[in-house]
Structure 1
Amino acid sequence: MLEDERLKLILDAAYTCFTRHGVRRTTMDDIAREAGMSRPGVYQYVRNKEDAFRRLATGLLDGALAEAHAAIDTRGTLRARLTAALEAKLGLATRLWHDSPAHAAELLGVDTRLSAEQVEAYNTAMRDMIGAAVAADHPDTDALEVAELLLAFTRGLEADLTDTDAPVRRLRHGVALIVAGLDHAGGQPE
C-alpha cells in the first residue's frame, strides 16, 4: 500500500472514530483498530490524535473550498454562483451533522483549538473568493462586507441542521434577496 493510501486509510479511520466518539474521547488505539493497523504503524503517519484531527480538518475544509471555487468559477448569474459556493460550505456542516449529530459542533467548530488555524484560513479564503465574485458584478460596492454578511448568514443556517431541506432552501432565498438588493441599489449602500 502506498504511503498516501495508508495516510488516507488512517484519516478515514480517524473520521469514523471522531464522528462516533467525539475528538476528546477518541484514542489512538481506536484509530489504529478502525484502520486495521497497529498503533506504532499509525504513528508512522501521524504524530498523535491532534495531528490526525488537524490533517482531517484540513482535508475536509480543502474539499469544501475546492467545491466552492468550482461553483464560483462557472458561468451563470452571480446569484447562482454564490448560492452554489455557499451550498458547498453548508454541505460540509450538513455532512458532519448527518454523520455525527452529537459531535458535529466539536469536529469543526470555530472555537476548537485543534483546527482554529484551518477554519480561519478557510473562512478567509471563502470571504475573499465570494468578495471577488461580488466585486466583479458590483464594482462600486463593499464586496468584502457583502461576503462577510453572506458567510455570517450561512453560519447561522449551520446552527440548526435537524431539517436537512430547510437550511438549503433558506440559503437560496437569502442569497436571492441579497443579490436583488445589490442589483436594486446599483451596488451602493443606502
Structure 2
Amino acid sequence: MKANEEDDGVDARVRRRLRDLRLQRGMTLEDVATRSNIDISTLSRLESGKRRLALDHLPRLASALSVSTDELLRAPEVEDPRVRGNSHTHNLITFWPLTGQGPAGGLHAYKIRISARRRTPPAELPVHEGHDWMYVLSGRLRLMLGDRDFTIKPGEAVEFSTWTPHWFGVVDGPVEAIMLLGLHGERVHLHSDQR
C-alpha cells in the first residue's frame, strides 16, 4: 500500500470514529467545536471528508470527545454480522428478513412462507412498480402472470416485472421461498392490501 492510500485510510477511519463518537455521546458539531477550539465549519468539513485532518486536530478532538488519541485512531470494532429482525405476516405470507437495512432503494432478501390457505387469486390481478424474484425452497408455488398460470417447483426460480398483472399463492400445501424485493416491492408485499 502506498503512503497516500494509507493516509487516506487513516483519515477516513478517524472521520468515521469522530462522527460515531460524537453521536454516541449525543454531542452536536457545535459542542465538539467549542470543546476542541476548532471552528464548526472546519469540523463539519473534517467529518464530511471535504477537508483533510491535520495532526494538531487529533489531540484536541480526542480531548473534546473524552477519549485518548489512540482511541480516536483505532479501527472500529467489527459489528455483529447477523441479521436480526422480526417476522412480519401480511395477506397469509410470513416474511423473515435476510438482509439488514441496506441503502435506500436497494434490494432486500426475505425468506417467505406462504400459508396453505392462500389459494384463491383476487378477481383482478394487481400491478405495481417494481420487479419480483423468488426461489422456491419447498412446496409448489402457483404464479399467475397476466393470462398465464404457472406451477413453480422446489429448486426453480422466477423473476418478472410487477407491471404485469400478477398473483402468487400455493398449489396444495404451504410454500417456502427466498424473495428479493426492491423498495416498491417491500411497500406492496409487506404493507398494502393489494395482495
Normalization by structure 2: what TM-score?
Answer: 0.28
Structure number having the greater strand percentage: 2
**Which is higher, the Rg of structure 1 or of structure 2?**
2
- Structure number with higher relative contact order (C-alpha < 8 Å, ≥ 6 residues apart): 1
Structure number having the greater helix percentage: 1
